């Protein structure tokens, strides 16, 4: 048998010859440095390999070793709070071992191999167990209990289980069924294969984010999928980060895919300091970060979203609600295009490979709210939010279009809004959420009976505003009749006092759904009263000068516990002032 | 395969040569090409397989032939000898001295294609750089370790802006080593001379290293020029604790050189003929800005690019904008209206602004004041568009007030002389001056406590609730 060697190198793609018995997507180590790569095309004994690290300095003739295992990752306690690159190498350990610049050919285990975890069985020896059943728990962080599950294809009698301290590589139990299968504290999974579930459920609960424009107008369901396309500078990344900070899910997986180094650094330095509003613990204790910045190797960028989603699925299987943010899927698609180009494949639209749509659909299909595989009814959800960066802000390009086909929520970021610093710059006219009907009942029973109506009313006013704006463009504002001016006032109030939300203000950054309801009803109430007095002969200018009008913007800066007092003040002031106006006008 | 020579070429196509019979050239290896007349040129391996190496030639392929040209594979990837002596010197686009000075001899050799900084080792850029320009300091603040490109177009004064920033930039309350690395990529000698003169006049030439690839120099050198500049910058920043400002102009020429190679290799093109990996390639340049935990220096980048036909959606500005932390956009209309520098504040952005401003850095009200100015300026511009149709008389009172703010904003705030160096206090105070004409209910972006503390009242109403 001849040893496998490199035959050709071109950028991130290498060709190996004499690679016998190789399978598609097997991971190989190439060259003297042992760079990691993955087989993406086979012809006889010749394999094309995408290399996850920079190939500078590799030579034809250097050796290639097949690990004979597809790209897989270790799943177990210690994933949370970690920061990985696209192929699950912990960046903090990498920095400690090889310095500030990423050096090549380093293999570092994803999980701390030495740390001993307190293993607490919930099942005992002799119990009959089935696939997916939870046999033990490990307190992974103060927030999250890590559940140790029976592998998918194993069932039988549980043996050798006992409380104790174990490392991730230790055997913690076994299952006897004719033959004996060991269960470790951690397990392995191939990242390109979705983890199976029993069945998927209807998306009828919202994933609350504390962001008013999202929760009120365009909510995404738990287990749902959303796309945020937008040109650069329109606030995609801030929106994603706000979601990661405030979404009411148990676990957050944040994938920085081909993004800026300084931005990832901001995430890395901010997340550990952020405190979860409910548990008062650092958010990092429920977060996994995957950071593959734009200058890190392109093939690892391609792998990063699979690395991220596999970890998400793993926690979903434990019964947690997981929210995954991928910023940005366009960079992932570009990685796909770059590798496809090096393989000299026939391109589809704009040079993207013909399988772009399929790959995107497969990715989003891995989300959902599901009954996971387990003898007891266990629910978990995996919500996916993908940022898309369309070139030139043009949504007709292939990545945006293929994403919109498979996601049900569209948060359209608008450069015009961003330019005038209306943040979050989500356009209320073009965005949509197809989950609203499924979730109406939830809102009615958990927020308020009039919620759906309020939302509809507010959207109608905004719609009306855009029509009126066209008229204003033609005839001027002064030529508008007073009732129309009143509508413009209310629309402006909705835009400025409600939809605009500062991610950087302590109070404004998060608004509970209850506060949202109170704010929106106050604004609309003011609008109704305005319409009333205008009918009686008053003017929009007079209403605009009211003291209560000036109090409405204060709502968003007011802490939730002080809100009640402010609302009482606004309401009584409003009542008094409008009564006076209405008397004046009718005289 | 150190120093193996090959007597013949198989093919020359555009900037590429194909060398047959090479068995193990390494990817990225440097190559010396010797012409029949003894002239030497440099190249680099772009694609290597057993029996064939494709080499990109830096410089022109004039005079190359397939029989008499020999190639020597040097056995090392591209490196640059770096030393303190580089400051005050002028080099060509390949790093050779251009000022009749001696060659840089040093034991310290740095890889031209730097490894990526581990995101975990990065330090969050947060030191406010006062450029003395209101439109930048006030609205789109620059911080140390940031990469903030200037999106310009032919005929606009981007060079003046860049040189003014280079002259005035300082970190408040800090006396530190500051140096400039300047990379000219395919610009005219006039433009290059302008910069050199500016550096000379401000006395900063001795702390500046210049790499000049002029428009008459071979386009293939342009692939190396920015990397030489950044390798020098990284050396100065991380080994010599300097704060380095890197000015690279014009990145559009760099991208065009990249397209030329891609076309010569017959690759499948992405948008407008640019290679599909343009994003990744640009990222490998821009991402070399930053700061590293535990190291004193920093690399701040100020790339300049000209947008073909003023089109911001063109692949070059578009991909750049997705990589860099914001952009400063120059606008032809403002230029015509004689607003200098003609920076369009609305489409400009600094993503790292929030880290660099606020209490303890600039002032507590900075963020909200800037937001309010943005909103007011945008509204005023809308009013201006409206007035163009219906006449100024038909505007509402409110619109008229915003129109005044917008006009003043351009004339007093953005407009400033080439030698006018405004402190951040002056800039913020100027901002509040502009807002004085608006009443408190119109200042929706600013917390009431800041309005109470900083707002300026005018005699003609302003902050008056009962107009």
Mutate to test the interface with B, among A232, A291, A498, A549 (most CBs of B within 10 A): A232
Please tell me the predicted confidence (pLDDT) of residue B174.
65
Residue B277 in contact with residue B131, Cβ under 8 Å? no
Rounded to whole angstroms, the Cα distance separating A388 from A395 reads: 9
Place of tokens 């979705």: A194
- Residues A61, B77: C-beta atoms closer than 8 Å: no
Residues 6+ apart with CB under 8 A from A216: A455, A458, A498, A516, A520
Tell me which H or E stretch contains A195.
none
Q: What is the mean pLDDT of residues A318-331?
A: 93
Residues B370, B387: Cα–Cα separation, whole Å: 25
A231 in a known ligand binding site: yes
- A-facing residues of B in 146-175 (CB < 8 A) are 146
Mean pLDDT across A523-528: 95
What is the rounded CA–CA span in Å between residue A324 and residue A207?
12
Q: Residue B463: pLDDT above 50?
A: no
Q: Which residues of A touch B283 (CB under 8 A)?
A: 258, 293-295
Q: Is A557 exposed, middle or buried (0-12, 13-18, 19+ CB in 10 A)?
A: middle
B95: Cα separation from own chain's centroid: 20
- Would you state the structure tokens that stand for residue B39, as one six-digit string? 């002239």
Instruction: Name the residue facing A476 among B125, B390, B444 (closest C-beta).
Output: B390
B235-268 pLDDT per residue, tens: 999 999 999 999 999 899 999 999 988 888 888 8
Which chain A residues are Cβ-neighbours of B50 within 8 angstroms?
7-8, 60-61
Three-state secondary structure call for residue A187:
strand
* Chain A residues inside the 8 Å CB shell of B266: none
Average pLDDT, chain B: 89
Contact A262 B326 (CB under 8 A): no
Contact flag A338-B277 (C-beta cutoff 8 Å): yes
Given the structure tokens 């503390």, which residue do they identify?
B453
CB contact under 8 A, B28 and A56: yes
pLDDT value, residue A391: 79
Annotated binding-site residue? A395 = no
Tokens standing for residue B347: 């489409």
Q: Which of residues 359-398 of B touch A (CB under 8 A)?
A: 367, 370-371, 374-375, 377-379, 386, 389-391, 394-397
Reported confidence tier of residue B462, pLDDT bands at 50, 70, 90: very low
pLDDT band for position A1 (cuts 50, 70, 90): low
Q: What is the mean pLDDT of residues A427-431?
A: 93
Q: Does B277 touch chain A (CB under 8 A)?
A: yes
**Residue A351 marked in a binding site:** no
For residue A102, pLDDT beyond 90: no
Paired tokens of A257: 């895919």
Residues 6 or more apart from B413 whose CB is under 8 A from it? B134, B135, B138, B373, B427, B430, B431, B434
- CA dist A186 and A170 (Å) reads 8
pLDDT at B138 over 50: yes
B201 interfaces chain A, CB cutoff of 8 Å: no
Is A99 flagged in the annotation as binding? no
Q: Any binding-site annotation on A234?
A: yes
Q: Is the pLDDT confidence value at A484 over 80?
A: yes
Which residue does chain B place closest to A290, by CA atoms?
B119
SS3 for A463-521 is HHHHHHHHHHHHHCHHHCCHHHHHHHHHHHHHHHHHHCCCCCCCCCCCCCHHHHHHHHH
Q: Measured between CB atoms, does B296 come within 8 Å of chain A?
A: no
**Strands B79-81 and B70-77, bridge-based pairing:** unpaired
Please determine, for residue B2, whether its predicted confidence score (pLDDT) is greater than 60: no
pLDDT at residue A446, as a whole number:
93
Contact between chains at A7 and B50 (C-beta distance less than 8 A): yes
Interfacial B residues in 419-458 facing A (CB < 8 Å): 440-441, 444-445, 447-448
For the beta carbon of residue B279, count every other beta carbon within 10 angstroms.
28
Name the band, by pLDDT with cuts 50, 70 and 90, for residue A107.
confident
Q: Give the mean pLDDT of B35-55.
A: 89
Task: Out of A91, A233, A391, name the one closest to residue B120 (CB).
Answer: A91
**Residues near A338 by beta carbon (within 8 Å), at least 6 away in sequence:** A11, A12, A298, B276, B277, B280
Estimate to the nearest angstrom the gap between the alpha carbon of A132 and the chain centroid: 25
From CA B37, how far away is CA A459, in angstroms rounded? Answer: 77
Outline where DSSP puts E strands in B215-366: 243-249, 290-291, 298-306, 326-329, 349-350
End-to-end CA distance of chain A: 105
Q: Kindly list the structural domains of chain A, giving each domain's residue range(s) and its CATH number in brackets, ordered by start.
A: 5-70 (2.40.30.20), 117-188 (2.40.50.100), 197-436 (3.40.50.300), 448-586 (1.10.1140.10)
Q: What is the mean pLDDT of chain A?
A: 91
Within 13 Å, how many C-alpha atoms sit on residue A267's CB side? 33
**Residue in A262, A476, A479 nearest the CB of B290:** A262
Q: In chain B, what residues touch A475 (CB-CB under 8 Å)?
A: 390, 394
- Cβ-defined contact of B113 to A100 (cutoff 8 Å): no
pLDDT at B458: 59
Alpha-carbon distance of A415 to A399, in angstroms, equals 19
Say if CB A235 and CB A418 are below 8 A apart: yes
Q: Given pLDDT bands bounded at 50, 70 and 90, which one contains residue B390? A: confident
Measured in angstroms, the CA of B101 and the nearest CA of chain A are apart by 32
Looking at residue A309, its pLDDT comes to 96
pLDDT at A182: 94
pLDDT at res. B440: 83
What residue ranges define each of the domains in chain B, with the CATH number in brackets?
5-76 (2.40.30.20), 80-356 (3.40.50.12240), 365-454 (no CATH)
What's A303-321 look like in SS3?
HHHHHHHHHHHHHHHCCCE
Residue with tokens 């012409």: B35
Mutating which of A57, A261, A422 best tests the B interface, going by the most B Cβ atoms within 10 A?
A261
pLDDT tens readout for residues A17-32? 999 888 988 999 999 8
- The per-residue b/e assignment along A293-302, b for 16 or more CB within 10 angstroms, e otherwise, is bbbbbbbbbb
A35 has which bridge partners? A30
Distance from CA of B16 to the nearest CA of A (A): 14
Q: pTM for the full model?
A: 0.86
Q: Do A420 and B379 touch (CB under 8 A)?
A: yes
Mutate to test the interface with B, among A2, A46, A49, A56 (most CBs of B within 10 A): A56
> Is A232 annotated as ligand-binding?
yes
Find out whether A237 is annotated in a ligand binding site: yes
What spatial distance separates the first Cα and last Cα of chain B, rounded to whole Å?
A: 83
Long-range contacts of A511-515 (CB under 8 A, 24+ apart): A511/A210, A511/A211, A511/A212, A511/A215, A511/A556, A512/A210, A512/A560, A513/A208, A513/A215, A513/A446, A513/A447, A514/A447, A514/A560, A515/A560, A515/A563
Q: Choose the mutation target among B112, B114, B121 for the interface with A, i.e. most A CBs under 10 Å.
A: B121
- Using a CB-CB cut-off of 8 Å, the residues of chain B touching A334 are 276, 279-280
**Shortest distance, CA A443 to any CA of chain B (angstroms):** 30
Residues in chain A within 8 Å Cβ distance of B349 = 233
CB contact under 8 A, A334 and B118: no
Contact call for residues A312 and A382 (beta carbons, < 8 A): yes
**Backbone angles phi and psi of A65, in degrees to 5:** -120, 130
Question: Does A230 show up as a binding residue in the annotation?
Answer: yes
Residues in chain B with CB shorter than 8 Å from the CB of A261 are 116-117, 119, 122, 287, 290
Angle (CA) A63-A66-A68 rounded to 5° is: 175
Least Cα separation, residue B28 to chain A (angstroms) = 5
How far out from the chain centre does Cα A380 lie? 16
B24 contacts on A by Cβ (under 8 Å) = 59-61
Q: Which of B50, B293, B445 sits opposite A61 (nearest CB)?
A: B50
* Tally of CB atoms within 10 A around A69: 12
Q: What is the ipTM of this complex?
A: 0.80
Q: Which residue has better confidence, A547 or A477?
A: A547
Contact criterion met (CB < 8 Å) for A60 and B117 = no
The answer to whether the CB atoms of A260 and B323 lie below 8 A apart is: yes
- pLDDT the model gives residue B66: 84
pLDDT in tens, B399-450: 899 999 999 999 999 999 998 999 999 999 999 999 998 888 888 888 888 9
CA distance A209 to A229: 18
Tens-place pLDDT, residues A235-271: 887 888 888 888 989 999 999 888 888 888 888 887 7
Residue A558 has pLDDT above 80, yes or no: yes
The whole-number pLDDT of residue A439 equals 93
Which residue among B279, B378, B447 sits closest to A334, beta carbon to beta carbon?
B279
Q: Which of B78, B322, B361, B442 to mutate to test the interface with A (most CBs of A within 10 A)?
A: B322
Q: How many beta-carbon contacts under 8 Å exist across A and B?
A: 244
Structure tokens at A401: 């279009």
Closest alpha carbon within chain A to B274? A351
């Amino acid at each position: 048998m001849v040893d496998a060697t490199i035959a050709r190198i071109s950028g991130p793609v290498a060709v190996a010859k004499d690679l016998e018995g190789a399978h598609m997507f097997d991971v190989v180590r190439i060259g003297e440095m042992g760079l990691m790569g993955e087989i993406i095309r086979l012809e006889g004994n010749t394999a094309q390999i995408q290399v996850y690290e920079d190939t500078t300095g590799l030579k034809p003739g250097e050796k290639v070793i097949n690990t004979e295992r597809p790209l897989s990752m270790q799943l177990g306690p210690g994933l949370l709070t970690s920061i990985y690159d696209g192929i699950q190498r912990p960046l903090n350990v990498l920095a400690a071992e090889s310095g500030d610049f990423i050096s090549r050919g380093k293999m570092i285990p994803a999980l701390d191999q030495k740390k001993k975890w307190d293993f607490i069985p919930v099942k005992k020896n002799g119990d009959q167990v089935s696939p997916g059943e939870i046999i033990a728990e490990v307190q992974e962080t103060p927030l999250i209990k890590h559940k140790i599950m029976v592998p998918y294809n194993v069932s039988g009698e549980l043996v050798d289980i006992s409380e104790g301290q174990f490392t991730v590589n230790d055997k913690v139990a076994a299952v006897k069924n004719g033959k004996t299968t060991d269960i470790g504290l951690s397990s392995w999974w191939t990242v390109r294969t979705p983890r199976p579930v029993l069945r998927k459920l209807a998306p009828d609960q919202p994933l609350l984010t504390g962001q008013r424009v999202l929760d009120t107008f365009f909510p995404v369901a738990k287990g749902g999928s959303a796309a945020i396309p937008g040109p650069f500078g329109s606030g995609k990344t801030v929106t994603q980060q706000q979601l990661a900070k405030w979404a009411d899910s148990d676990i957050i997986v944040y994938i920085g895919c081909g993004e800026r180094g300084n931005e990832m650094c901001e995430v890395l330095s901010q997340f550990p300091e952020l405190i979860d509003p409910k548990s008062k613990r650092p958010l990092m204790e429920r977060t996994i970060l995957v950071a593959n910045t734009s200058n890190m190797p392109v093939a690892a960028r391609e792998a990063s979203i699979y690395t991220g989603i596999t970890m998400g699925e793993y926690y979903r299987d434990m019964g947690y609600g997981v929210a995954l943010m991928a910023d940005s899927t366009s960079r992932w698609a570009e990685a796909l295009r770059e590798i496809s180009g090096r393989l000299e494949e026939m391109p589809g639209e704009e040079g993207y490979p013909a399988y772009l749509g399929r790959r995107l659909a497969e990715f989003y299909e891995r989300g959902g709210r599901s009954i996971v595989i387990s003898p007891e009814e266990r629910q978990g959800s995996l919500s996916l939010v993908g940022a898309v960066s369309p070139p030139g802000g043009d949504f007709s390009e292939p990545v945006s279009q293929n994403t919109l086909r498979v996601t049900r929520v569209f948060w359209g970021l608008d450069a015009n809004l961003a330019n005038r610093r209306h943040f979050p710059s989500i356009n209320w006219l073009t965005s949509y959420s197809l989950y609203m009907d499924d979730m109406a009942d939830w809102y009615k029973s958990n927020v308020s009976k009039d919620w759906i109506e309020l939302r509809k009313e507010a959207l109608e006013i905004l719609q009306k505003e855009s029509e009126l704006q066209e008229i204003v463009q033609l005839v001027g504002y002064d030529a508008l009749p007073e009732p129309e001016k009143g509508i413009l006032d209310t629309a402006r109030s909705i835009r400025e006092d409600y939809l605009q939300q500062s991610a950087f203000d302590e109070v404004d950054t998060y608004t509970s759904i209850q506060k949202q309801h109170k704010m929106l009803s106050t604004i609309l109430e003011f609008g109704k009263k305005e319409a009333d007095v205008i009918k009686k002969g008053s003017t929009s200018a007079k209403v605009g000068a009211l003291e209560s009008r000036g109090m409405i913007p204060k709502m968003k800066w007011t802490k939730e516990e002080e809100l009640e007092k402010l609302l009482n003040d606004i309401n009584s002031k409003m009542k008094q002032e409008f009564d006076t106006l209405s008397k004046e006008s009718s005289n | 395969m150190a120093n193996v020579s090959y007597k013949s070429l198989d093919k020359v196509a555009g900037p590429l040569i194909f060398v047959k019979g090479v068995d193990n050239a390494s990817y990225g290896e440097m190559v010396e090409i010797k012409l029949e007349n003894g002239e030497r040129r440099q190249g680099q391996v772009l694609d290597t397989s057993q029996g064939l190496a494709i080499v990109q030639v830096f410089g022109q392929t004039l005079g190359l032939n397939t029989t008499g040209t020999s190639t020597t594979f040097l056995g090392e990837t591209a490196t640059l000898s770096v030393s303190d002596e580089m400051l005050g010197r002028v080099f060509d686009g390949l790093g050779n001295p251009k000022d009749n000075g001696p060659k840089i001899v040093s034991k310290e050799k740095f890889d031209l294609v730097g490894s990526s900084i581990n995101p975990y080792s990065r330090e969050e850029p947060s030191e406010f750089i006062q450029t003395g320009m209101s439109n930048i300091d006030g609205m789109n603040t620059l911080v140390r370790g940031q990469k903030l490109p200037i999106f310009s177009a032919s005929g606009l004064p981007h060079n003046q802006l860049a040189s003014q920033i280079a002259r005035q930039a300082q970190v408040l309350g800090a006396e530190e080593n500051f140096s400039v690395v300047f990379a000219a990529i395919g610009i005219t000698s006039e433009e290059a001379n302008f910069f050199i003169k500016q550096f000379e006049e401000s006395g900063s030439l001795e702390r500046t290293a210049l790499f000049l690839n002029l428009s008459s120099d071979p386009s293939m050198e342009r692939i190396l020029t920015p990397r030489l500049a950044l390798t020098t910058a990284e050396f100065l920043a991380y080994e010599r604790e300097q704060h380095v400002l890197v000015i690279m102009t014009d990145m559009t020429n760099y991208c065009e050189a990249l397209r030329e190679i891609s076309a010569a290799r017959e690759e499948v093109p992405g948008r407008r003929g640019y290679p599909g990996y343009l994003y990744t390639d640009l990222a490998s340049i821009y991402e070399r800005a930053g700061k590293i935990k535990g190291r004193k220096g920093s690399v701040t980048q100020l790339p300049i690019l000209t947008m073909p036909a003023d089109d911001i959606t063109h692949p070059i500005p578009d991909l750049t904008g997705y990589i860099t932390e914001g952009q400063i956009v120059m606008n032809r209309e403002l230029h015509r209206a004689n607003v200098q520098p003609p920076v369009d504040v609305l489409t400009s952005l600094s993503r790292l602004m929030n880290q660099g401003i606020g209490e303890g850095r600039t002032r507590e009200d900075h963020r909200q004041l800037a937001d309010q100015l943005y909103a007011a300026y945008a509204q005023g511009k809308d009013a201006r568009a409206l007035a163009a149709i219906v006449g100024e008389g038909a505007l509402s009172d409110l619109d008229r007030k915003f129109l005044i703010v917008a006009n003043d904003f351009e004339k007093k705030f953005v407009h400033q002389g080439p030698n006018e160096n405004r402190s951040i206090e002056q800039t913020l105070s100027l901002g509040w001056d502009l807002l004085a004409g608006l009443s408190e209910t119109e200042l929706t972006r600013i917390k009431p406590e800041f309005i109470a503390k900083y707002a300026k009242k005018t005699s003609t109403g302003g902050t008056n609730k009962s107009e």
